Amino acid sequence: MQLGIRVHDGEKLPLEQLLPILRSRGFVCGHIALSKSISEVSTAVSALTPGFAMYLKKLFAKNELDVAVLGCYLNLATPDEAALRANQEKYMANIRVASLMGCGVVGTETGAPNKEYKYEPACHTEEALNTFITNLRPVVEYAEKMGVIVAIEPVWKHIVCNPKRARRVLDEIGSPNLQIIFDPVNLLCYNNYSERNEIFAEAMELLGKDIAVVHIKDFIVKDNDLVSVAAGHGEMDYTEIMKFIKKEKPFIHVSLENTVPENAEEARMLIQSIWEQA
């Protein structure tokens, strides 16, 4: 596997200074959300020119880093029509950038049926799922034209909250340009985390052939909720996930999440060691 990190989990430095640091910690790929990782210049849609994309491509290549994920985590189920169109436009701008940068995927979570992008029981309804599929479809069609993969990330608090709903989205849209970011911890909540091994097994069975990227983090239980932490600092056992990666997904991009500069390299070495023993 090719281990990487979310760029915005590194030091708060300009990208030209930060990328060499991430590479020095042993990472070989990055997950970059432009608005979270770049503050020194504009990342508005109008700024995402071919020149910007090629500058980023050269900068990552100089530091021997793949761009595993170009993150564009916006709400495709908002009831605000103007916001929806703006969000779709931003996805398409990121897809254009990804096509010029040679990114692995443009990554997205799956939204909520409200303007605030927050969990409510309606997230898990049939209506919300249909809305998401309808609004995702033109984004995927654009990705097909640009030769880019869009990858959705199932999250319990969002519309695509479990492996079955994710499988349904893939099947209904029916495009090879739509794949999956598998983040095991994001499939969990306080009421189901004790069944996590069964949930992970179901995800690997139902979604395995379409998993393009894996996210790795850990969790602790606090105040009747799950709190995400760096790998090795919580309750996760990664053994079966690493076996799956080793057998089924050679050279896949695997990105660490919820690290801080002080524990990022430690987390990388832990996951690498589990993979080697799998």
**What are the pLDDT digits (tens) for 222-254?**
999 999 999 999 999 999 999 999 999 999 999
From residue 143, give the alpha-carbon distance in Å to each of 32, 96, 98, 110, 147.
Answer: 18, 8, 10, 17, 6
Q: What pLDDT shows up at residue 216?
A: 98
Q: What is the mean pLDDT of residues 162-168?
A: 98
pLDDT digits (tens, 9 = 90+) for 172-222: 999 999 999 999 999 999 999 999 999 999 999 999 999 999 999 999 999
Q: What pLDDT shows up at residue 244?
A: 98
The residue ranges of every structural domain in the chain are 2-277
Q: Both tokens of residue 64?
A: 């021997």
Q: What pLDDT shows up at residue 260?
A: 97
Q: What pLDDT shows up at residue 78?
A: 98
**Measuring CA to CA, which residue among 81, 91, 64 is closest to residue 4?**
64
What is the rounded average pLDDT for all residues in the chain?
97
pLDDT-based confidence at residue 107 (cuts at 50, 70, 90): very high
**Measuring CA to CA, which residue among 260, 105, 235, 227 is closest to residue 178?**
105
Q: What pLDDT shows up at residue 192?
A: 97
pLDDT digits (tens, 9 = 90+) for 44-97: 999 999 999 999 999 999 999 999 999 999 999 999 999 999 999 999 999 999
pLDDT-based confidence at residue 256 (cuts at 50, 70, 90): very high
Q: What pLDDT shows up at residue 67?
A: 98
Concatenate the DSSP letters of all residues of 148-172 into one string: --EEE---TTSSS-SHHHHHHHHHH
CATH superfamily of 2-277: Divalent-metal-dependent TIM barrel enzymes (3.20.20.150)
Q: Is 33 helix (H, G, I), strand (E, B) or coil?
A: coil
Q: What pLDDT shows up at residue 70?
A: 98
Could you give the CA distance from residue 41 to residue 211 in angstroms, rounded to a whole number?
Answer: 33
